[in-house]
Amino acid sequence: MWNKQIETDSAPTDGSSWIDNANTTKLVRGGSWYELPRNCRSASRYGEFPGNYTNDGIGFRVVCDAVRTK
């Protein structure tokens, strides 16, 4: 999952929303299927990457219960 990386040093200090941010890097949350279990949490963070970065360890995961058969 991509999250917008925010440089807090230049963030507004008056409580207003921060609309203009020219930062083009993102950070990755969560882990892939071949990560250690502790890194599969959505709270797990990985370093900054360019906004167009891809690899087979970053992606969208769909999880559902298996259908029971008799």
Strands 45-50 and 25-29: antiparallel
pLDDT in tens, 1-38: 444 455 566 667 787 766 666 666 666 776 666 677 77
Average pLDDT score over residue span 36-53? 68
Rounded to 5 degrees, what are φ and ψ at 20? -100, 105
| pLDDT the model gives residue 11 | 67
> For position 60, what pLDDT does the model report?
64
Dihedral Cα 43, 20, 50, 10, nearest 10 deg: -70
